[in-house]
Amino acid sequence: MKKKWGIWIVAILLGCAILEAAIWFKYKDRLLIDLESTRKNDWDYSIPLTTNLQNWVHKGDLVLVNTSYAIRPEGVKKDIITLADEDELNSGFVLLDRNMMLSRHVAEQFQKMTTAAAEEGVHSFLMSSGYRDLDKQEELYQEKGAEYALPAGYSEHNSGLSLDIGSSLTTMDEAPEGEWLEKNAWKYGFILRYPKDKVEITGIQYEPWHFRYVGLPHSAIMYKKQLVLEQYLQLLREKKEISCTLDDHNYNIRYYPLDSETTIYVPRKDSYEISGDNMEGIIVTASD
């Protein structure tokens, strides 16, 4: 009898282990995010970056653009393209304007995202707005007013990092495209920039269509912690360093407040990216 009980216990434990493994595999891209796995001693800060630090503050994928902080000329993405001219980057969704422009890199990530959504049966995407230069933004502001548009330089659309995504089925707050993006956009480096419950922080009413590219792992951290960009940058300023693990990649993020004596160091071996916050700091993100 004891032997039978032992067999049953082993079978139950094995079944639980298999179920846990299956759940882990299905949701591994979420479960591997671990903000507590700090690796403070693993970086080799051996290469100083001391050239034009002030310029670095105002460019990169994490620059804050809102009613208080305008995009600087150096912050506008340098790879802006007209989407209609790039056949490989305008399939799988409808372009409402053939003159629409966007950062090439952001467009590539958007293409990957809509392709993944189509594989899950969500495929009625359309793009209604992308990059706008300052002249077009000012024209929109004068035409529509402050209730609808922001002054030139204070809209994320002036950076090349943001786009408005719609659905040909219905409004985004009811469309399967909107629901899919809210759950999955972070996997491709995008965030819902103006959520319904963050209006007091962003100063912008809920816009279920407006998505902003910030890149991984930042989008994953913001998604998990339910942070908007303002809150995430504040977290980096407070913590100074954050580590996380995502899809078998270890990331280490360091925030450097800029002053007259600032010296930025980057890792010798790991790949890294640099972005300013458009305020007073520089963020170095390394991955192995």
By the 10 Å C-beta count (0-12 exposed, 13-18 middle, 19+ buried), 50 is classed as exposed
282 φ/ψ angles, rounded to the nearest 5 degrees:
-125, 135
Q: Which of 108, 207, 230, 273 is catalytic?
A: 207
- Best CA proximity match to 227, nearest among 204, 255, 195, 266: 195
Residue 214, C-beta contacts closer than 8 angstroms, at least 6 positions apart: 61, 62, 161, 189, 190, 191, 222, 229
Residue 2, C-beta contacts closer than 8 angstroms, at least 6 positions apart: none
| C-alpha span between 220 and 215 (Å, rounded) | 9
- Residues pairing with 283 in the sheet: 255, 275
- Best CA proximity match to 283, nearest among 63, 12, 10: 63
| C-alpha span between 253 and 244 (Å, rounded) | 9
Residue 207 is a catalytic residue: yes
Show which residues are catalytic.
207
